[in-house]
């Protein structure tokens, strides 16, 4: 975790598989992830549609399918904040923030570790059951979000481009 905090930039290709009871079949999304320590994370989906999702300090910007971008404050949306910090604090190695929002379980070894986050607060835990983050050394290789009710989303980080 501490070493993760020393990584200051990151760029990676991702592939995300969404399993939703609302959908007939899983949907695969592809795009890029960017990270600038300690607080800027950008997720840019390229297919099947374009979405830009930027978390910077306390604001979130969502730009979807050529529409006017929506910007809102993380403080206005405590649930989204908890959700966002699940990735961002992990990327930044910010254990303190993580433990404020989640029950954290760390297992495995340096080459292949696994971090399980279980939301502490009611409003968040009514939607998200747990977040599983897997990695090797300072790299994160996979993030899986398990929602209450069985839906889930698995983000695999394919290649780390520095």
Partner 1 sequence: MTGFRSRLPILLWLALLGVATWVVSAQTRVVTDLTLFLPRASDPVENLLVAQLRVGSASRLILVALEGAPSRALARTSAALVDRLRASRLFAYVNNGDIPWSPREQNLLLQNRYLLSAHVVPGRFATKALHESLEERLRALLSTVGAFEKHLLPRDPTGEFQAVSQMWAGERRPQRKHGVWFSTDGKRALLLAETRAPVFDLQAQAVTLSRIHTAFAESAETEAVRLVLSGPSVFAVAARNSIRGEVWRLTTLAIGLVAVLLLAVYRSARTLLLTGLPLLTGVLMGVAGVSLVFGSIHSITLAFGATVIGVAVDYPIHLFSHRKAGEAADSTMTRIWPTLRLSVLTTAIGYTAMLFSGFTGLSQLGLLAIVGLISAAMVTRWVLPVLSSSARTEEPPQRRLSIIRVVDQLRRLWWLSAVFIVVGTIYFVFLDHSPWETDIANLSPISARHKALDRALRAELGAPDVRKLFIVFGDSAEDTLQRSERLAYTLNEFVERRALTGFDAPSRYMPSKALQRQRQAALPTEASLRRTLREATRDLPFRKGLFEPFVADVVTARTSAPLGPADFQGTALGVRLSSLLFRQGTQWVALLPLRGVINETTLAQWVSRLNDSQVHYLDLKVSSNQLINRYRDEALMLLVWGAAAIVLVLVLGLPSLRVVLRVLLSVAAGVIGVVMLLLVFDQRLSLFHLVALLLVAGIGLDYGLFFNRVYQERAERERTARALAVCAATTMLVFGVLAVSETPVLNAIGTTTATGAILCLVLSATLCRDPTISTSSTSAGPTDATANFSTH
Site residues, partner 1 (CB under 8 A): 18, 20-25, 27, 29, 43, 45, 49, 51, 53, 62, 64-65, 73, 75-80, 83, 127-128, 145, 147, 151, 153
Report how far residue 75's alpha carbon sits from residue 80's, in angstroms, rounded to the nearest whole number.
Answer: 9
Least Å distance, CB 38 to partner 1, is 19
Least Å distance, CB 49 to partner 1, is 6
At a CB cut-off of 8 Å and minimum separation 6, what does 148 contact? Answer: 125, 126, 127, 128, 129
Least Å distance, CB 42 to partner 1, is 11
Least Å distance, CB 29 to partner 1, is 6
Report how far residue 90's alpha carbon sits from residue 145's, in angstroms, rounded to the nearest whole number.
Answer: 14
Which of residues 87 and 134 has its CB atom nearest to partner 1 in the complex?
Answer: 87
Which of residues 7 and 41 has its CB atom nearest to partner 1 in the complex?
Answer: 41
Residue 107 CB burial class (10 angstroms; 0-12, 13-18, ≥19): exposed
């Amino acid at each position: 975790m501490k070493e993760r905090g020393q990584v200051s930039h990151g760029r990676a290709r991702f592939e995300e598989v969404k399993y939703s009871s609302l959908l007939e079949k899983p949907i695969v999304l592809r795009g890029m992830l960017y990270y600038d320590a300690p607080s800027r994370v950008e997720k840019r989906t390229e297919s099947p549609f374009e979405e830009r999702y930027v978390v910077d300090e306390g604001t979130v910007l969502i730009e979807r399918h050529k529409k006017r971008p929506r910007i809102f404050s993380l403080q206005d949306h405590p649930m989204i904040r908890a959700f966002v910090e699940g990735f961002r604090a992990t990327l930044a190695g910010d254990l303190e923030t993580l433990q404020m929002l989640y029950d954290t379980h760390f297992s495995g070894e340096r080459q292949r570790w696994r971090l399980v986050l279980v939301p502490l607060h009611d409003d968040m835990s009514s939607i998200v059951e747990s977040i599983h983050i897997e990695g090797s050394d300072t790299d994160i290789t996979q993030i899986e979000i398990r929602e209450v009710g069985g839906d889930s989303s698995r983000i695999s980080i394919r290649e780390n481009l520095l």
